Structure formats: C-alpha cells, structure tokens
Amino acid sequence: MGGNAPGACPGWAGCASIGLTAFQAMALQLGDTVPNFTQDSQLGPINLYDFAGDSWVVLFSHPADFTPVCTTELGEVARLRPEWEKRNVKTLALSVDRADSHKGWIEDINETQCTLVDYPILADEDRSVSDLYGMIHPNSLSNLTVRSVFIIDPQKKLRLQITYPASTGRNFDEILRVIDSLQLTDHHQVATPVNWKDGDDCVVVPSIPTEEARTRFPKGVTEVRPYLRLTPQPNR
C-alpha cells in the first residue's frame, strides 16, 4: 500500500505509509482532493488515480466477503453497468478480506444475482485504505468496514460521502441520481430540488436575478417566490 496524493497538504502523501498516527483526525470533507492509494484486488493491484483516469469513481466498502446484504449490493452494481458507463463512472468496491476470497465470492454473486461482476474489489487486508478513508467505525463494527460510499469526480475531488449501517443495503438508484445532479449542476447554474430525477424541473440558483434567468434559460422560468424559481432541465 502506498499513498501519493498531490496537493498542498503533505499529510495525505505519507499518511498511508506511516499508519495514520498523525492523521486519523483528518476526516475527508466534500471538495477535498481524495488521497491516492495502491491496493491489491482480485484483478491485481489498483492505483486509484490511474484507475480513475478522467472518469468519475464510486468507491464503496463492505464489512466482509460472503455476507448476504453485500452479495445483493455487488450484484446490483454489476447489473447497473450500462448506467455507470452512460455517466462515465467506474465502480470500485472494498472489503478487508483477501483477493482469493473475493474470487470465490464473485462466483457466488454471479450465480445468485444472475449477473457478472467485472469491476475490482479491493483486498484491504491491512486496512490501509479503510483507515485512510475513515471506513472503520469501531463503535459500530469493531475492525470491519461499514457501508461507506464515496463519489469522486474526474478532478479527484470528493463530491459525496454516505455511511450506511451494516444492516441496511444501499440504494444505488440514489447514487445514480446524485451523479446526474452533480454532472448537471457542474455545467449549468441550477440546483436540483427534493426528489429530483433526470428530466425534472430544476431550481435557478439564487445568485442569478430573475430577469437574467429568463434570458439564460430560454425554456422558461416560473417564479414561485423571488428566491424560488423553477426552470426546465437545461440540458434536456
């Protein structure tokens, strides 16, 4: 395991190799450049930055191999492959078990979930990535990883993180919805309202005056209140 993240903070570059002693309190926050790492997987060593390239990445952790909820989750991520590709997203799972254990588990996932797991599952036996990303919550699961999800953009910035309890399987439709929102709002001056789905109306950001918004969004602007303006999704 080797960490070599760029940026002004020298801590990320060395924290993986020194056991995090001075860095365990440095929780990742939205907008941070995520730390790089290299870790084994059932497909061979994975360097996060090389793996990501110019794509978005969904990194998600699991308590252990051969567990029921995890089996359904990894199968669902595999089934959603066309949706990830449509959004230029790569998926990367993590468990603290060995790579050869992953291979046996994948056979079970493919058979029971009627799919084909073709993405890497990190074999984080030394828990270096788990510690680096704060995936181990001792008061919840002792030395096992909780169900963490990280959305990382092509600039290696953390855009979303969600932590689920071990008893609750993740909703990957929601992860796709968030990616749709992020990719839309990165390029248009809108925000997405409650329960928004791709194709729904969007909110005009408060920094744009209404008259300017009517010019900027030719599909129309509905002023519900001066601070609440809706417009059809600009890229549809």
d(CA 11, CA 43): 29
CA dist 222 and 210 (Å) reads: 9
Query: Quick check: 147 and 95 in contact, CB under 8 A?
Result: no
What are the structure tokens assigned to 14, written together? 């060395």
d(CA 35, CA 48) in angstroms, rounded, equals 9
Active site residue 70: yes
Candidates 15, 70, 114, 202; catalytic one: 70
Angstrom distance (rounded) from CA 155 to CA 208: 26
Sign of the C-alpha dihedral, residues 193, 52, 66, 137?
Answer: negative
Positions annotated as catalytic residues are 70
